[in-house]
Amino acid sequence: MKCAEIRLLLEDYEDGLLDERTAALVEEHLAACEACSAELEEIRTYKKELLSLERVKPPDDFLQRVRERIERPPGWKRFLGILSGAGGVRMPLQLAGFAVAAIAVVFVFNVIRPDMQKRPGALRKDAVTEKRMEGPAEKAVRPEVREKDEAEAEATPGADLEKSGTGIPEKAEAEVPTEAHRKEETVPAEEPVKAEAVFPPEETERKMESAPVLQTAAGSEVLTVMLAVYPAAREGEAGRADFRARKSLPVSGDRVSDLCTNDERDESEEMSPAGPEDDTLDAIEYGVRDLSGTVLSSDENRMLIEVPADRVGDLFALLEKYGKTSKPDFDPMGLEKVRISIMLVGRE
């Protein structure tokens, strides 16, 4: 097994979750590989650090506090009590109910109104104001809106006003439509990065760094395939150019290590901080399960999976959903299962 595969197994090895045969393979590799041994040591230090965290002690009267809270009437009853006894003047329950209804009406209006403002008409009216009110938090919870808006912006050069109204970017404030700005957006092929200027910097960087490389191994026969998968939403000239710039596609029988040196692998790993929001691996993972496959292990930017050999074709079809893939010259005949390692690498 290669270093990349071994490293995916190290945590399970340390937890004692590997079967004997795999554990022996890991040990054999560790004896000969300093880098992997160092990684194992790092894992051990990490575990020790977390296990040595001091236990925080609850107060001695914890149970009593829980008891008091249980005996306290529920929040809505207390609320009614406050209403009916407000200012020392007791109200009849009906009046309290009426007050609650009135508060509910006010609440509903306050909740509904902002939604109404988000409709396209309202957006045009208050584009700049809305944009200032909604900050990065709004962006973080509504990625699908961003992508949709971005697609619209690419299709319709004049759509940037609506886009800015959904509170997308910090930069958008400076991008209230001008002729110059529109010109920039109409030439995505030559200026692909400018079209992405609406993303916050990390977001843009992350979006640009989602090209997984796939290597396939089956039993003792190692069949290697490299696949560049582009995020579907970003499939454009920039992505294709980058794909072409990669190494030429391999033929079956090659090993990843033959095609990609250690230095390149390390560099690519550093360049792809596939964060928690990057759900390419998650999406592939769910798809793999649908194909009766198993995710053996995975980390931040790599995933080791095993799929039945007769589902390999379906797997490539699945990957194609997430971008462009090169179909390998691969015949799974005679094999029961195929082991595949997917790696996210940087694209710049």
- Residues 212-271 interacting with another protein (rule: CB under 8 A): none
Q: Which is nearer to another protein, 26 or 123 (CB)?
A: 26
Instruction: Find the binder of another protein among 285, 306, 310, 320 (CB under 8 A).
Output: 285
Question: Quick one: which of 174, 190, 193 has its CA closest to 128?
Answer: 174
As measured in angstroms, the least distance from the Cβ of 212 to another protein is 14
Which of 298, 295, 263, 293 is closest to 278 using CA atoms? 298
Cβ neighbourhood burial of 177 (10 Å; 0-12, 13-18, 19+): middle
Annotate 182-249 with DSSP letters as a single string. HHHHT-TTT-HHHHTTTS-HHHHHHHH--EEEEEEEBTTB----------GGG-SHHHHHHHHHSPPP
Does residue 55 touch another protein according to CB under 8 A? yes
Residue closer to another protein, measured from CB, 225 or 284: 284
CA 106 to CA 100: how far, in whole Å? 10
**Residue range at the interface with another protein (CB under 8 A); choices 43-51, 104-112, 190-198, 330-338:** 43-51
> According to CB under 8 A, which one of 37, 204, 257, 294 is a site residue for another protein?
294
Cα–Cα distance measured from residue 4 to residue 213, given in angstroms and rounded to the nearest whole number:
12
| Chain center to CA of 316 | 21
Closest approach of another protein to the CB of residue 239, in Å: 24
Q: Shortest approach of another protein to residue 76 CB, angstroms? A: 14
Task: Give least dist CB 15 to another protein, A.
Answer: 9
Point out which residues pair with 221 in neighbouring strands: 218
Among 20, 49, 144, 179, binds another protein (CB under 8 A): 49
Please identify which residue in 78, 182, 183, 289 interacts with another protein, judged by CB under 8 A. 289
Give the residue from 233, 248, 217 showing the smallest Cα distance to 280.
Answer: 233
Binding residues for another protein (CB under 8 A): 8, 11, 42-43, 46-47, 49-51, 53-59, 62-63, 65-67, 69-70, 276-277, 281-282, 285, 289, 294-295, 297-300, 303
